[in-house]
């Protein structure tokens, strides 16, 4: 049981104290101020009026004097004479009092700073989960009555386990950067004598793994509803040089019950952020960062493919069981997709093959999101159509004659859009423009199998008839 307690120690004894000064004496480029104004400060035991500029995690004190707010201790205070509300910033025993701050500015600061008064602001409710050095609780903010998830870390275990401590600091650094609807949102952090409290968004839906275990038969459209925002969220991570490296059905939770449209990616304790020139710790010192980045991108993309495969087949493949084969384009599970009942659409079959058969050309999330499978018009018109080729009119012609289940009485002429030499893709109408993107669409030989409405393999012949 976690005891209610307040921190009785100073910033010099904080877990987050890295024994550096509160002030840094060099220019921050680029520094983009979000707010600039006059504040009353208590500096070197004197009250003074000072113009401060605040931008993200920095406060500009002078031209070449800044305060980096990351892991600086922050306490709310009141001026004993004027009654003005303010904050005390402290690090390694050095303090600065600032009065006259608005609630909006404090909201910006609390994302980066360490606070002490957790038990005054939050009420712990039921336990949600437990790990090696953490317990996750549901908690309620006493002021606004909103509920959050609180990840409580045991400080003693972090202090005696250097590996766990570094992993925690790396995870904290990453989740502070995130601002995406489909990624777990970080709120603020508190410290007490024995614990660290990380306040996170409360997700009320089920884990994706629970849905798969219950053998819920999701339709292809429902699966795409889940996967599209996940691909967008991972692309957002990659744009910030962050690589999740632990994407699986256990690390995806829905924000609300019975709503598949808002999946959320969690568990960033294995994530990596690779920034050029960033040497804050040994995790970022890489011999060949470009190759590592390419590897991490493919790792995340293939992991998303395994998640999608699990949803399509109802399998419970663990990512770590098949990731090595998938990274080498040797994942044999794709062959089972030919025998799913009801059969997959050709677009879906091609999309999943594109992920697992990348070859030497890396497929990014951005390129995969341009695939026609995410075009709603294509999804509506190409789903569950029984198509039979009557014959090729002309090798140089882009038109074929087909019979479909929707027009059994009269043949219909449609346009064929060439995507690759020796392979054609059927579009919905002669007026439709090609969605082909040569950057991502490189179909393997298996794409020459025509499977619509049947489990029988039939090879399309696009050669000129003699």
Query: What is the pLDDT, as a whole number, of residue 142?
Result: 96
Residues present in the chain in total: 466
Closest by CA to 122, choosing from 106, 88, 145, 151, is: 145
So what's the pLDDT on residue 103?
Answer: 87
CA pair distance 23, 159, nearest whole angstrom: 26
Long-range contacts of 441-448 (CB under 8 A, 24+ apart): 441/354, 441/371, 442/354, 442/359, 442/361, 443/350, 443/353, 443/354, 443/419, 444/353, 444/357, 446/353, 446/357, 447/350, 447/353, 447/423, 448/422, 448/423
Residue 276 pLDDT:
66
Taking only the tens place, the pLDDT of each residue in 265-303 is 999 999 999 986 554 454 455 567 889 999 999 999 999
Mapped onto helix, strand or coil, the DSSP state of residue 49 is strand
Decide: helix, strand or coil at residue 341: coil
Which tokens in the block code for residue 113?
């700073």
Residue with tokens 């002490």: 116
In 49-74, which positions are buried (b, 16+ CB within 10 angstroms) versus exposed (e)?
A: eeebbbbebbbbbeeeebbbbbbbbb
Residues 243, 296: contact at Cβ < 8 Å? yes
DSSP structural state of residue 459: E
Tens digit of pLDDT for each residue in 412-458? 444 444 444 444 444 344 444 444 444 444 444 444 444 444 444 43
Tokens 């925002």: give the residue: 229
Q: How far apart are CA 355 and CA 121, in angstroms?
A: 47
Q: Within 13 A of 291's CA, how many CA atoms are on the CB side? A: 3
Per-residue pLDDT of the chain (466 residues; tens, 9 = 90+): 455 544 456 788 899 999 999 999 887 888 888 899 999 998 777 889 999 999 889 999 988 899 999 999 999 998 888 888 899 999 998 999 999 888 888 988 999 999 999 999 999 999 999 987 899 999 999 999 999 999 999 999 999 999 999 999 999 999 999 999 999 999 999 999 999 999 999 999 999 999 888 877 889 999 999 999 999 999 999 999 999 999 999 999 999 998 999 999 999 999 999 986 554 454 455 567 889 999 999 999 999 999 999 999 888 888 888 898 899 888 888 888 888 888 899 999 999 999 999 877 899 999 999 999 998 645 554 444 333 333 434 444 444 444 444 444 444 444 444 444 444 444 344 444 444 444 444 444 444 444 444 444 433 333 444 4
Q: Enter the tokens of residue 155.
A: 């400080």
Other CB atoms within 10 Å distance of the CB of residue 4: 11
Residue 143: the pLDDT is 92
Give me the domains of the chain, ranges plus CATH numbers: 11-113 (2.30.29.30), 118-200 (3.30.200.20), 208-373 (1.10.510.10), 383-459 (no CATH)
How far is it, in rounded angstroms, from Cα 270 to Cα 287?
19
Q: For residue 154, what are its two tokens?
A: 């045991």
Cα–Cα distance for residue pair 332/325, rounded to 1 Å:
8
Specify burial of residue 26 (Cβ count, 10 A radius: 0-12, 13-18, 19+): exposed
């Amino acid at each position: 049981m976690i005891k209610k307690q307040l921190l009785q120690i100073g910033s010099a004894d904080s877990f987050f104290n890295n024994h550096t000064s509160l002030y840094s004496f060099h220019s921050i480029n680029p520094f983009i101020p979000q707010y600039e104004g006059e504040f009353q400060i208590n500096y070197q035991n004197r009250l003074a009026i000072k113009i401060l500029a605040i931008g993200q995690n920095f406060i500009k004190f002078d031209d070449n004097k800044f305060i980096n707010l990351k892991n600086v201790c922050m306490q709310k205070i009141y001026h004993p004479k004027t009654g003005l509300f303010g904050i005390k910033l402290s690090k390694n025993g050095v303090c600065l009092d600032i009065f006259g701050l608005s609630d909006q500015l404090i909201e910006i600061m609390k994302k980066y700073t360490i606070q002490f008064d957790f038990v005054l602001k939050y009420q712990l409710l039921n336990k949600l989960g437990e790990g090696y050095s953490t317990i996750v609780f549901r908690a309620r903010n006493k002021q606004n009555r909103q509920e959050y998830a609180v990840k409580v870390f045991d400080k003693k275990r972090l202090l005696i386990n250097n590996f766990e401590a570094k992993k925690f600091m790396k995870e904290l650094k990453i989740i502070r950067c995130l601002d995406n609807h489909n990624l777990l949102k970080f709120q603020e952090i508190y410290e007490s004598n024995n614990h660290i409290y990380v306040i996170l968004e409360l997700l009320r839906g089920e884990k994706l793994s629970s849905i798969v275990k219950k053998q819920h038969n999701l339709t292809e459209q429902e699966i795409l509803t889940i996967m599209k925002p996940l691909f967008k969220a991972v692309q957002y991570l990659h744009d910030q040089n962050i690589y999740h490296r632990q994407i699986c059905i256990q690390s995806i939770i829905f924000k609300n019950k019975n709503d598949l449209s808002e999946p959320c990616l969690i568990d960033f304790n294995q994530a990596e952020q690779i920034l050029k020139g960033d040497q804050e710790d040994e995790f970022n010192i890489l011999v060949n960062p470009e190759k590592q980045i390419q590897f991490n991108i493919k790792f995340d993309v293939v992991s998303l493919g395994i998640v999608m495969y699990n949803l399509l087949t109802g399998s419970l493949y663990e990512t770590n069981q098949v990731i090595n084969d998938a990274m080498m384009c040797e994942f044999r599970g794709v062959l089972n997709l030919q025998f799913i009942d009801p059969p997959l659409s050709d677009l879906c079959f091609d999309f999943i093959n594109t992920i697992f058969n990348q070859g030497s050309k890396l497929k990014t999330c951005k390129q995969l999101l341009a695939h026609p499978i995410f075009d709603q018009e294509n999804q509506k018109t190409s789903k569950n159509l029984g198509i039979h080729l009557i014959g090729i009119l002309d090798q140089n012609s882009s038109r074929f004659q087909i019979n479909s289940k929707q027009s059994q009485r009269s043949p219909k002429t449609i346009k064929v859009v060439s995507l690759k030499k020796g392979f054609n893709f059927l579009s919905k109408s002669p007026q439709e423009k090609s969605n082909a993107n040569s950057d991502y669409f490189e179909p393997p030989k298996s794409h020459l199998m025509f499977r619509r409405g049947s489990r029988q393999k039939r090879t399309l012949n696009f050669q000129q008839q003699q």
